[in-house]
Amino acid sequence: MNPRSPRKLISFDWAMKRLLRSKANFEILEGFLSELLGEDILILEILESESNKESRSHKFNRVDLKVKESKGEIIIIEVQFEREYDYLQRMLYGTSRVITEHQKEGEAYSKLIKVISVNILYFDLGHGTDYIYHGTTTFTGIHDHDKLELDTRQQKQYGKSRISDIYPDYYLIKVNNFNRMATTSLDEWIYFLKNEEIKDEFKAKGIQKAKESFSLLRMTDEELRAYNSYQDSLRDQASYVETNYDFARMEGKEEGIGEGIRQGIEIGIEQGLEKGKLEVARRLVAKGMSDEEAAAIAGIDAELLRH
C-alpha cells in the first residue's frame, strides 16, 4: 500500500478481537480459511479462548481465535508480531492443550480431536524464503523408505484416510516474506495481511465482505479511539523488542569475544539477550503493566523482574 495514502481498513488481528466473533461475519473467516486450507470451511461456532481478554498484553503477546468447523475439527488462528525464538514449541504446546481440553474423561484415544494451527507471523522464524509453510506428521520406514499408512480397520475406526489426518496440521504464514503481486486467491488474502488493503478486483472467497466490514469509516468515534490506541501499543512494544534485541546482540558479542572461543560468543549473546529481555520488561512495567504481564511478553521469569 502506498505509505502516503491513509489506511482504510482495520488490521486482521483487531478484526479477530472485535468483528469475526459475530456470526454475521463468519463468511469472512470461512473465506480466509477455505483459501488457505484448500477446501470449503463451514464454521459452526467460535470457542472460548484467551482472545476474549481486551488488553493485548493479557494474552501473553498473542491474538488468537479458536473455531469449530463442520467436520468437528478445531482451528486455532494466532497472530504474532514480535520475535519469539521458542514460537515453534509454543505452537506445539497450543495444539496439545486444545487436544487435551477437548478430550472427555475415559474417552478412547481414537476420539482425539483433530487440530489445525494457523499462525500469522510478522517476524522471521527460522530459515526459509517462502511465505507459507505447511507441516504435517508422517512416518517413513528406515530400511524400506515406505510411508506408513492406516489399514482399513483403522480408517473406519478413526474416520480418517491418512495418518497425517490424525495429527495436528500447522500453517505458518510469514507475512513479511510476501513481496509480490497477488496472483492467486490465497495471495489476495496474504496481500491484505501485509498491506491492510483489498483491491476492488480481488475475487478470493470472503475478501470483498472483509473489505466492507473492515472499513474504518464504519467505526464509531469510541471504536476508532480504541483501535488507534491498540495500534500505538503495537508500535511501542515492537520498538522496545527490536531495540533491546539489537542492544543484546552487540553486548553479547563483546562479552563472548572476550572469551576467545565460540562457546564464549554463544554464552555472551545469551547473557546479552537476557539483559535485553529484562530491560523490555522494565519498560513495560513503567507503562503500567503488571510484573506478570511484562515478564510473559519479554519471555523471562517474573521473579527475575521483581528482584
- pLDDT reading at 135 higher than 70: yes
Q: What is the pLDDT of residues 201-250, one digit of tens each?
A: 999 999 999 998 887 656 666 666 766 666 666 555 555 555 555 555 55
The proportion of the chain whose per-residue pLDDT surpasses 90, expressed as a percent, equals 41
- Residues 270-295 pLDDT 10s: 666 677 777 777 777 776 677 777 77
Q: Which residue has the higher pLDDT, 307 or 242?
A: 307
What residues contact residue 42 under an 8 Å CB cut-off, 6+ apart?
30, 69, 70
- Higher per-residue confidence, 304 vs 249: 304
Angstrom distance (rounded) from CA 29 to CA 207: 9
Mean pLDDT, residues 142-157 taken together: 94
pTM for the whole structure: 0.71
- pLDDT for res 131: 96
In the prediction, which pLDDT does 253 show?
53
Other CB atoms within 10 A of residue 165 CB: 16
Residue 5 pLDDT class (50, 70, 90 cuts)? very low
DSSP, collapsed to helix, strand or coil, labels residue 58 as helix
Q: Cα dist. 164→103, 128, 295, 304 in Å?
A: 19, 23, 36, 41
pLDDT in tens, 179-190: 988 999 999 999
Q: Cα(first)–Cα(last) distance of the chain, in Å? A: 45
C-alpha cell at 19: 468483528
